Each structure stands twice: as C-alpha cells, then as structure tokens.
A and B are shown apart, each in its own frame.
Chain A
Amino acid sequence: MKVGVVVFPGSNCDRDMYHVLSDVFHFDTQYFWHDKGLPKNIDAIILPGGFSYGDRLRAGVIAAHSPIISDVQKLAEKGIPVLGVCNGFQILVESGLLPGVLLKNESLNFMCEWTELIVENNKTPFTNKLKLNQKIPIPIANGEGRYYADDDTLKKLKKKNQIVFRYGDVVNGSANRIAGVCNEDGNVVGMMPHPERAVESEINPIDSKPSSLIFESLLVQMGAKN
C-alpha cells in the first residue's frame, strides 16, 4: 500500500502531506520528484499544494507538462486513486485529467481562511467514509481558486455526479460554489482546500474528524483493493 507524493519545483505542502500520510495515517509514503517516472506498483498518488514554477503563466500549467504527469495519466486510466490539493488540483485541470479551470479569486486576493465544505459525492476513493451533505471545516490558501467551467461542462458534471465538494458559502466566486471535482470514473479527485492542514486537532480549532475521513476513505479504498 504505497502512496506517492509528487514534488514539483515550488511545491510547499509536500512535507505536510507526507507527514499526515505517514505519521498520522501510517501509509507507506514516498516522495517522487517531477522529472522522474512512477513505479507501476504505486497504489495512490497525491499532488500536493504549493506554487509549482512560481505560478508563472498560469497556476499549474507548466507543471502539467512535467515528465511525471504522463505516468500519473497512465495510472489514473488504470483506476489508481489520484488526489490533487490546491496547486495539485490546478495541475490536474491543466493536464486535462479533470475538467474545468481555476481562475483568480473574484476578489483578486490571496485567500487564507477557514471555510466549510459540503460533501456532494461520497463514492470516490477519498470520500467513501463521509456522508452526503456532511460539513467539513477546512482551510483554503490560494490566489487562483475560482472554479470555472462552461455551462455544458457544468451540466455534465452534475449529471455524472462529478461535483465532489461545494463551499457552504460563496467564497471566491466559484461556479456553483464548486470546491472539488472528480473525473467520470471517480478515481481522480481535485480540491482547493487543504485536508492535510485540518486532520490534527492541534492545528484545527473547529473539528479535525471530517477531514480525517478523507484519508481514512483512502485507507478503506486501499484495504478493499488489497
């Protein structure tokens, strides 16, 4: 049960993610540098947050051309769970693994604050232990987090149950308050908020349990597979 954390130049949440995966949930966790490949026996892939390539041109677009992304695509097609958080989500949309795009927040500000998520799809490898409509207190930290998709894509997302999380309130101008989506198969999930910053009670003043269920869902998923 090996989980890979992909590191790009400018990733800065990779160590938090590694700590949570290995120390809190006891996954066999390994870093993978972006210009190397991924082993075939990997069981899950996490693209952490940060500022890959300094957000130059557009958040995530340059990292989306990294050599490791072709391996992420191949493994995603085989059904391996892939989670992109914040910049990881931006990389997943820019590489075409997830639909839509993330634009500058409506306020044009970098937003660093606690938000409330609502679970819309609890059938993914990262949400199977959550309840539908469950609320998750969780922080965001981004400048380009406003989810946008054209009307046809939004209709399709709804029809195929690809909206995974919505914000409880209007946060940044995201279309339909979308905070996270998945691919049609459900194994690739992207979310702007940071679950790795919310699973320990020492740093979560509200409730760390709901975010913990995101990682516990992956444990269930991988346990079921093995």
Chain B
Amino acid sequence: MATFDVHVTIENKPGISDPEGETILNDLVLRGLHKSVTKIKTAKMLKFTITEKDKKTAHSKVQKICDDLRIYNPMVSIVTVDVFDA
C-alpha cells in the first residue's frame, strides 16, 4: 500500500457563467498590463490524502467518492481527478 495526494478540481461546465472569474479578468487582470490574458475560470480544489495499492486504484476510488456523494453537481460542474505520489 502507498499514500497518494489526490487533487479534485471542480469547475463550471463550458457555457455556465462564472461571474467571479469574469470579475477577476475584467476588473483586475485586464486593468493592468496583462492584455494577453483572454479568460480566467475559477474552480474549487479539494486535496485528498488516500492510502491505496496503486495510483489507478486511488484515482478510481476518489472519482467514485465524487460521483456517489455528489462532491460536484453533474448538471453544472465537471470534475478533474489528478493523483500524485505523496
């Protein structure tokens, strides 16, 4: 068994408005000299620490937790699960 850090990123699906990201872009970043930035999206990240036999199992276990417990709302959000060695 090994310990893994699993990062769960929850963000709005494309097409769902993200007023916080738009405000950061328009009223902070684009007010300065950073005209090359075209989009900012906010997201929520949960960091799990989990002990499983391998990375693949850690990934599928956390994905299942996210799906079963509605850690993200599938109507509006997408979730990305990334596994790292602890």
Q: Residues on A close to B: CB < 8 A? A: 57-58, 61, 64-65, 94, 100-101, 103-104, 106-108, 148-150, 153, 173
What residues of A have a CB within 8 angstroms of the CB of B75 in the complex? 100-101, 148-150, 153
Q: What are some 29 contacts across the A-B interface (CB < 8 A)?
A: A57-B71, A58-B73, A61-B70, A61-B73, A64-B70, A65-B69, A94-B70, A94-B73, A100-B75, A101-B73, A101-B75, A101-B76, A103-B16, A103-B76, A104-B19, A104-B20, A106-B17, A106-B19, A107-B19, A108-B19, A108-B20, A108-B23, A148-B16, A148-B75, A148-B76, A149-B75, A150-B75, A153-B75, A173-B17
What residues of B have a CB within 8 angstroms of the CB of A104 in the complex? 19-20
For chain B residues 19-37, which have a beta carbon within 8 Å of chain A? 19-20, 23
How many interface residues does chain B have, given as a range? 10 to 19
Q: Bound complex: CA of A101 vs CA of B75, how far in Å? A: 7
Closest 10 CB pairs of A and B: A101-B75, A101-B73, A101-B76, A106-B19, A108-B19, A61-B70, A148-B76, A108-B20, A150-B75, A94-B70
Q: Bound complex: CA of A39 vs CA of B74, how far in Å? A: 32
Q: Which residue of B lies closest to A100 (CB)?
A: B75
Give the Cβ gap from B83 to chain A, nearest Cβ, in Å: 21
Give the Cβ gap from A88 to chain B, nearest Cβ, in Å: 17
1/0 per residue, CB under 8 A from A, across B1-15: the answer is 000000000000000
What residues of B have a CB within 8 angstroms of the CB of A173 in the complex? 17
Give the Cβ gap from A55 to chain B, nearest Cβ, in Å: 13
Residue in B16, B20, B23, B76 with the greatest tally of chain A CB atoms within 10 Å: B76
